[in-house]
Chain A
Amino acid sequence: MVELLILQFLPLLGALFVLLIPKERRESAAIFSLVVACLEMALALTLVPQKLTYYLGLGLGVTMVFSFDPLTAIALLVLAGSCIFSILYSFKKPIEPKRSPSFYSLILLVLFGTVGVTLARDLIQFYVFWEVMLIPAWALVVNWNEDPKKVRYTGLKFFLITHIGAVLTLSSILWIYSTFGTTNMFLLQDLLPTLPAATLIAMAALFFMAFIVKLAIFPFHTWLPDAYTTSSMPVTLILVSMMISVGIYGLARFLPFFPKEAVAPLSIPYFIASLINIFYGGAMALAEKNAKRMIAYSSMSQMGYVLFGFATLIPLGISGSVFNIMNQAVTKLVLFASVGMVAETAGTWRLEELGGWAKRHPFAAVCASGAMLSLLGTPPMLGFWPEFLTFSGGFAFGNYLIASLALVGTVLTAAYGLRLVRFVFFGPLKNEHEGAVIRPSWNMALVLTAGFLIILFLGIYPAPAFQLVRSALNLLGFGIGG
């Protein structure tokens, strides 16, 4: 059981020790934090098929509950993987202010918080880790930001809006605690159904608010575009992969936590919210002239599909959203990184100033196209499977209008996705970019190749990943296919 403790506290120890590294030896700090993230990943991998639980008494009647199961495994692997990706990406990147050991320490703290969120089986503990994750993320956003004029506003907005969601969740947790006198999720699983339905509905709706905000569901989305766009790339990568994964994980964990009759009435409101997100985010992305902001809004639109999958409350639909924990992270990472590589060389993110980069950066063009197709849910890319599962849940739900509307939304996705690739990579190369110097970097090649191969391989043969998703859902009481 000590594995769970190592899993939980390894990033924290890493975050402490990385601070001992002298300030100017930033590549050593990067390598150190990379090793920590890799160890975390390796440990999670060795634990995968198992189901472990560990109680840690802290005195004063406080007991922490850690548990590892397939759903946690999915989230953990994605989190550690995203962390590795982002750290690798940051190597040798000339960002302002300079990367320092504290930069990597903050990244490891984010990992610590998110790992805590996925392992926690006690509501208070869950909330504490949720906050632990939020604070270093905020520190990263405000300290490594490319827009000094707006940084205070962006940081405040990011923190306050996500915090409002978290506080609403806390109020639900306190409500539960005051009702039952415990916050142990295993105990509550049996206790919750004894409550009247109306109370449960209110409790659940409040509880999910932290995740709704984290997924940037309209109208709580305004923190997202600014935070994603103005942050330095490595920070953006952390946000798009780790923050999003944890948001989806939260819904996946707590939707089945509440009794079915409590969440059933939330279905239609969530469907409507998801449709608004799909179309609103899509329209924003389509109108956007800045590539980074465009991908940011695309994320908002995609989260609409994630919420849609959950709203079906049908095993297939939920499996689509759980599958999306993997898909969204890797797709967004590759898309951001490959377009980012071009933007870095060209010195601009503006679509009208880009174009024709397939000639100079053919590899980035292939990766970006692949990730874009995955974003669109087009085979043979990974994104096809979650999207298809989400929609089959939608149709099985029986409301054909809602399901068809969501399908129509994919045309909008295709419109902005194709537009992005078209304007960055195709057409003639701008004259002023003819002489742009491309610095080949092993770390970029490595992360992009790995990400692209994952997207392609799991797109052609999704069985290994889906098997994990399926066992996660079986444990949550949403069995698929006997």
Chain B
Amino acid sequence: MMNLEMIPLLLLIVPLAGAALVPLINLLFSKAVPLFSVFVGLVTAVIGFFLPGQIGAKAVSIVWLPGVLKTGFQLDTLSVVPALIATWIGFLVLIYSLGYMKREENLSRYYSLTLLFIASMIGMSLADNFLALFFFWEVMGVCSYALIGFFYKDPKAASAGVKAFLTTRIGDIGLLAAILTIYALTGTFSISAGLASGARIALPLLNFIAFGFILGAVGKSAQMPLHVWLPDAMEAPTTISALIHAATMVNAGVYLLARVSPLLALVPSWLTVIQWIGALTALLGSLLASFHNDLKRILAYSTISQLGYMFLAVGVGGVFASQFHLFSHAIFKGLLFLCAGAVIHELGTKDIREMGGLWKFMPVTGTTFLIGALALMGLPVLNGFFSKDMILEEAMVAGSWGPLIVAALAALLTAYYSLRTTAVVFWGKRRTAVHVHEAPAVMTVPLALLALGSLVSWVLVGPLTASWTKTGLKAPHIAWFELLKETFSSTAFIITACVIVLGFLIFYYRKNLGWLKEKVPAFFKAVSVGLGFDTCYSWLSRLIYSASSILSNFWEEKVMEGINRATGKTSVALSISSREMQTGDLHWNLLYVVIALIIILGLILW
């Protein structure tokens, strides 16, 4: 009988060990690397099945930094859900990679980093202390950086990795500042103890802490204004986009905010900030997704937008709603990305204008993509419908009408671009002559499983809410049929229904709306450059670089070196001029001696 306390540790160590073993296996027998990784993923996924049973149970802990930190596991619904998403979607992505990555080189790097990523996502969400959370948070960032730059020969990929790392780093310093401030004030890294002592912290510091946490979350979850890294991150292999940049890592910010929500509740003005960040990001993301032609970037903007909804949910106090949407989104967005991967794999392009009419050739991919898109737009009764409706309902209950209206507008655009993307890619005429096949079974089986998840995952609302009370956060226990009843009778359902219908109408009559482009060209131009965020940042980085160059070329090279040389020259000049006095002439020497004696005598007498 296995010691059940070990389960969370095993869940962490198995993929970690796998990541470490992959390079060794690569040395001995490189062909075995993909299968070995899938095997590790399978073992992890199986261990994952035991995790829900451990909710609320005690787990092992380890001395990590003697005298400073003993790290353990926090097992509640809030932490277990993201960990399991990483475990299971990670496993599906590994299987899918067998087909998708077949033709690539350097597979040991790919699989090792992917397994390391899965381990760190598990570690991040299960951590019972802020330091371990930050540790794994950063490791995820490293994996993300390295995998975005997987095709390192392409300068675009290499630069995108750097951009992702730097942008999220800005958020990370906020997170670290918040964690260290709590530690300085309470002397503990423990999450529960830190949150419990929040009320004793002075308000200005509490504001500082809240700001730090929000900054960290905004960076990691690609919210405005730090969202710019995520679209560029699409240079990564599509499997990675699905796993890291849709289903798991980008959720970390939302998870963090949910985790520290008791602290945020003490500073309500920051909650308002979160609401607005979320709502505006949702709108921004859906707007940019509506006008883009790069399939992966459309999905990236869509992710940004959906994460915005989760932020909104946390901001209005609907922590469960945010996590419920996180759960739904991970499934349907993972699905959409993997479908996109299958298409891109076949066609060799990411531009949707070169796609079209693929339904006939890729029926499984097409159907599953449609299911994903419908879940994304929130069509009843897919999983995205319930969770998005819950968020809007929470916003309404909280009376946050401003953000609610913005979010509803975003939902409208979401409905539009979901349909547009599906239509352009899979329906209509074929636009290229490339020969297209359906993806192999290793790719379509994960698609089918995720599509099934998109259809029914909301049924799990019962067990999720049942164990929710152990998080110390409030949420009513609700079974799936109650959810069904409540959602359809909620006021928010009217909004959802309206925006879907409107979105569909816009989509249907989109050809008739061409005149808009001539009427407001400035708007379309602004949208096409992502509303100028990237331009601002590149200006800023160029400014810093130029300032450094000036400092280096002028101050360091001329002034500092000048001082060095001047000091040397002055000393030499002084010695040359004072050498004159050393004549060696007895007469002069005697004169100096006498003068000195007189001065000394004078000093003594005086």
**Chain A interface residues toward B at CB < 8 A:** 156-157, 219, 222, 280, 283-284, 286-288, 316, 356, 358-359, 362, 369, 373, 378-380, 384-385, 388-389, 391-392, 394-396, 398, 400, 403-404, 407-408, 410-411, 414-415, 418-419, 422, 425-429, 461-463, 466-467, 470, 480-482
Contacts and interface: CB of A to CB of B under 8 A. Distances in A.
A283 B551 contact: yes
Given A222-B564, A373-B142, A398-B184, A414 B166 contact: yes
Given A428-B153, A480-B68, A419 B548 contact: no
Interface string B544-579: 110111011100100011011000100000000000
B139 interface: yes
Q: Which 10 A-B pairs have the closest CB atoms?
A: A481-B67, A426-B158, A287-B548, A287-B552, A283-B548, A395-B180, A426-B152, A287-B549, A395-B184, A396-B184
18 contacts: A156-B568, A157-B564, A222-B561, A284-B556, A286-B548, A369-B146, A384-B135, A384-B138, A404-B177, A407-B176, A414-B169, A419-B162, A426-B149, A427-B155, A429-B153, A462-B65, A463-B63, A463-B64
Nearest to A467: B66
A417 to B, nearest CB: 9
Contacts of A394: 180
B159 interface: yes
Interface in B255-274: none
B173 interface: yes
Contact of A470 (B66, B170, B181): B66
B545 A287 contact: yes
B18 interface: no
A286 B544 CA distance: 9
A422 B184 contact: no
B30 to A, nearest CB: 13
Given A222-B561, A422-B158, 18 more contacts: A284-B548, A287-B549, A380-B135, A384-B138, A392-B183, A395-B177, A395-B181, A396-B180, A396-B184, A404-B177, A411-B166, A414-B169, A418-B161, A418-B166, A425-B152, A426-B158, A462-B64, A470-B66
Residue picked from B63, B67, B142, B183, most chain A C-beta under 10 Å: B67
Contacts of A395: 177, 180-181, 183-184
A311 to B, nearest CB: 16
Question: What is the predominant secondary structure among interface residues of chain A facing chain B?
Answer: helix
Interface of B: 63-68, 106, 131, 135-136, 138-139, 141-142, 146, 149, 152-153, 155, 158-159, 161-162, 165-166, 169-170, 173, 176-177, 180-181, 183-184, 205, 208, 541, 544-545, 547-549, 551-553, 556, 560-561, 563-564, 568
A216 B161 CA distance: 32
Contacts of B131: 388
Contacts of A283: 547-548, 551-552
A380 B70 CA distance: 17
Contacts of A288: 552
Nearest to B158: A426
A378 B141 contact: yes
A396 to B, nearest CB: 4
Contacts of A380: 135, 139, 142
Residue picked from A385, A410, A415, most chain B C-beta under 10 Å: A415
Nearest to B208: A400
A463 B66 contact: yes
Given A286-B548, A400-B181, A411-B166, A427 B152 contact: yes
A385 B152 contact: no
Given A427-B153, A428-B153, A480 B545 contact: no
Contact of B165 (A359, A379, A418, A481): A418
A384 B69 CA distance: 14
Given A157-B564, A400-B208, A427 B551 contact: no
Contacts of A404: 173, 177
Contacts of B564: 157, 222
A378 B141 CA distance: 9
B148 to A, nearest CB: 11
A403 B66 contact: no
A417 B162 CA distance: 10
A348 B553 CA distance: 21
Given A411-B173, A418-B165, A427 B158 contact: yes
Contacts of A411: 166, 169-170, 173
Contacts of B541: 415
Contacts of B161: 418, 422
B165 A222 contact: no
A391 B549 CA distance: 28
Nearest to B561: A222
B551 A422 contact: no
B534 to A, nearest CB: 17
Contacts of B548: 283-284, 286-287
Nearest to B551: A283
A384 B68 CA distance: 15
Given A378-B141, A466-B66, A403 B180 contact: yes
Contacts of A396: 180, 183-184
Contact of B153 (A359, A385, A422): A359
Residue picked from B131, B153, B180, most chain A C-beta under 10 Å: B180
B118 to A, nearest CB: 14
Contact of B551 (A284, A369, A407): A284
A482 B67 contact: yes
A462 B135 CA distance: 13
B434 to A, nearest CB: 26
A422 B165 CA distance: 12
Nearest to B105: A359
A407 B177 contact: yes
Contacts of A362: 106
Given A283-B547, A426-B152, A481 B66 contact: yes
Contacts of B568: 156
Contact of B135 (A379, A400, A419, A422): A379
A183 B489 CA distance: 86
Given A385-B65, A392-B183, A407-B176, A356 B166 contact: no
Nearest to A416: B548
Contacts of B545: 286-287
Nearest to A409: B173
Contact of B67 (A156, A400, A408, A470): A470
Nearest to A157: B564
A407 B152 contact: no
Given A288-B552, A391-B180, A418 B138 contact: no
A20 to B, nearest CB: 40
Contacts of B180: 391-392, 394-396, 403
B572 to A, nearest CB: 12
B102 to A, nearest CB: 20
A326 B556 CA distance: 30
Residue picked from A156, A157, A373, A470, most chain B C-beta under 10 Å: A373
